[in-house]
Chain A
Amino acid sequence: MQTSAPGGPEDRLNQGLGDGGRPPWPHGQPGPFGHWAGPGHWRTRRHRGPQWARGPRIEGPLRRASDDRFAGGVAAGLAGRMGLDPTMVRLGLMIAILFTAGYAAVAYVVAWLLVPMTGTDTAIAAKAKADRRGLAVAAALGSLLVLILIAVTALHVPFVGSLASPLFLCIAGLVLVWRNASAAERATLRDLAEPLESLTGRRGWTAIMVRAVTAVVLAAGGVTVFVSTHRSILLLRQLAGVALVLAAIVVLFGPWWIRVARDLVTERQARIRAEERAEMASRVHDSVLQTLAMIQRRADQPQQVVQLARAQERELRAWLFDGQAPGSLDGQDMTISGGVRQIQQEVEATHGVTVEAVTVGDCEVNDDLGALLAAAREATVNAAKWSGADVISLFAEVEPGEVSLYVRDRGRGFDPAVVPGDRKGLAESIRGRMARRGGSATVRSAPGEGTEVSLTMPRAGERQPSRG
């Protein structure tokens, strides 16, 4: 298992680094990846994994998986490429990280940077190249690493030195990923970093004091250990020397680090503000601006203007005071009457027709009834777009055994036997949506006589129906 699984990102990395697959340490020596048997060391074995470790194979260039991902989707992407089970690859990666003292993790982060995600052709690295501030942070981290390496070499603690390098490389890489990845990837990173954040997040003075005291005790303990093992006044002198060098570097680089850190904070705040503004803008665009445009176009029909204004006011109030995002049909605690109302408001606002909505009885919406509402919305939007009618009737009735929804217009109608292709497709999508959930949909129409779409969904496994 160990032999097949570590065909992780480091394999690709070593090919990708362009040094002919030659490891960066003398040939024959056990490097941080274990014994290196030359290029193809793992590649030759990759298809000999046992049956249970295999997974579906995906052809084409290596891509990071976008759906099945734990962090960057590198492992799943590799697994798909090699026909292995993603979990096996992940386990192998974990083991590789342990055995390579962390360098496999570096390889993972580099792969994250270099390998594009499924469905895209540009890697994060391409964007990161232009990210000057991100590169500055990475460089600052590099200088910090040098500093620590100097300190640990002077203090003869090689263990820390070997861990510090991969750690800092990983962090530098992740900083670049974080700054240049798409919003979705950033969300994944944020989820991963959550435990870390709670550890370092602001939690009052007590936490800071506890941390400071712990640090002082640890440092004091460390110094005591050094002094007691070496029992030499020489070491103290050496320590003093190291301290001086460190102080010099801090004095030299300190302001730069602080500036980089401060820039990062301001930039982060600016980005949060920009995101909020973008969100606000899109909401306002979807609702208020649309409505204002409709009102301008219908200035000669005061009744419709009033109606548009009223619908918009309702929606805006719901958003501002009840936190109900405009246009979200699948919100929690949705009921049939609420869903029908929402369809009514949406279609009235966007298409400027009157939707006469009537609901009898009510119940909570489950997945099946969500599909029913979605189909009803599609039918209503259809009627608003195609029928030419000013009024669309939407009637929902909740009965103990089933929920029925009728969408009726008095528009131009059509002959169901000779429907134009696009309309037929829409009807099919309504029918298909209902059929998949065990419901039914019928469309009744004739030229000049309007259209009625009847939707029925059984309420299988429903709780007590709540009427009224």
Chain B
Amino acid sequence: MTMADAARPRVVIVDDHGLFRSGVRSELGSDVDVIGEADDVQPAVRLIGECLPDVVLLDVHLPGGGGQLVAAAVRAEHPEVRFLALSASDAPEDVIAVIRAGARGYVTKTISADDLVDAVRRVAAGDAVFSPRLAGFVLDAFASLPAPDEHRPSFDAELDQLTTREREVLRLIARGYTYKEVGRELYISAKTVETHVSSVLRKLQLSTRHQLTRWAAERRLT
């Protein structure tokens, strides 16, 4: 990826609300290149396969199934396509599902235009974008996992737990800090913050621990 790509990423918007799609398109304006729109799972997979955008803005909820179906189907063929989940919904299990399906970040639909452009750029550059809400969801998901012990041995302890630093970073993001502010608060560089967040994202996507699935299932019940 060249710098020019990162500065003006090519974007596909997947959302079942036409009004919202056009709203986002006009908000993103000239900062990104919106090359297509889709309103459901199948058309989205086809469209993305054809034009291979840098970033897909993916609604968590779609009529033909969750946004995770799109992410999973596309990434099986084209792992280089990056997804940024976008949602108005508060359901953590859906958000975590999209992240586990491969999205590199999650922002809420109330995000300001500037922040959205920034988030798209960062995802295009390969960074992880954690909104305060996603940070909260992740803290919640990992906090409700019981620490591995002799009764429940963990196959990969490193993947199933957050480090203290990662927890600190997530907490500050949940409090509304930007990466830069988090770095200043913890006396680390913004780049290191980015590393921590990416590591959290990796754990979230790769942890095979069935508790994470069970956590999602339990959340769905309540």
Binding site for B on A (CB under 8 A): 302-303, 307, 354, 356, 358-361, 390-393, 395, 397, 406, 408-410, 452, 467-468
Complex interface: chain B residues within 8 A of A392 (CB): 176
A468 & B218 in contact (Cβ 8 Å cutoff):
yes
Given A361-B143, A467-B143, A354 contacting B110 (CB threshold 8 A): yes
Give the interface size class of chain B. 20 to 34
Complex interface: chain B residues within 8 A of A409 (CB): 176
- 16 additional A-B pairs beyond A360-B139, A467-B143, beta carbons within 8 Å, are A356-B133, A360-B136, A360-B140, A391-B176, A393-B174, A393-B175, A395-B132, A395-B136, A395-B171, A397-B171, A406-B176, A468-B140, A468-B144, A468-B215, A468-B218, A468-B219
Whether B176 and A408, one on each chain, are in contact in the complex, defined by CB atoms closer than 8 angstroms, is yes
The interface residues of chain A lying within 8 Å CB-to-CB of B219 are 468
Please pick, from B108, B110, B140, B175, the residue contacting A452 in the complex, using a CB distance under 8 A: B175
Which residue on chain B has the smallest CB distance to residue A394? Answer: B176
User: Once the chains bind, are A395 and B176 in contact (CB under 8 Å)?
Assistant: yes
Query: Top 8 closest A-B pairs, CB basis?
Result: A393-B176, A358-B136, A468-B144, A408-B176, A406-B175, A395-B175, A360-B139, A395-B174
Q: Report A453 CB to chain B, min CB distance, Å.
A: 11
Chain A residue numbers with a CB within 8 Å of B176 are 356, 391-393, 395, 406, 408-410
Q: From B176, which residue of chain A is reached at the shortest CB distance?
A: A393
B144 contact from A302, A408, A467, Cβ within 8 A? A467
Q: Complex formed: what's the CA distance from A393 to B219 in Å?
A: 23
Q: How far is the CB of B44 from chain A (nearest CB, A)?
A: 24
Does residue B135 face the partner (Cβ distance < 8 Å to A)? yes
Q: Which residues of B contact A408 (CB under 8 A)?
A: 175-177
B residues near A354, Cβ cutoff 8 Å: 110
B112 touches A (CB below 8 Å): yes
Report B125 CB to chain A, min CB distance, Å: 24
Residues of B within 8 A of A303 (CB): 23, 110
Q: How far is the CB of B184 from chain A (nearest CB, A)?
A: 11
Interface string of B50-78 (1 = CB under 8 A from A): 00000000000000000000000000000
Interface centre among A390, A393, A395, A409 (most CB of B within 10 A): A395
Contact B133 A360 (CB under 8 A): no
Q: Which residue of B lies closest to A392 (CB)?
A: B176
Q: List 26 A-B contacts (CB under 8 A).
A: A303-B23, A307-B110, A354-B110, A356-B110, A356-B176, A358-B133, A359-B136, A360-B143, A360-B174, A390-B112, A391-B176, A393-B132, A393-B174, A393-B176, A395-B132, A395-B175, A395-B176, A397-B171, A406-B175, A408-B177, A410-B176, A452-B175, A467-B143, A468-B140, A468-B144, A468-B215
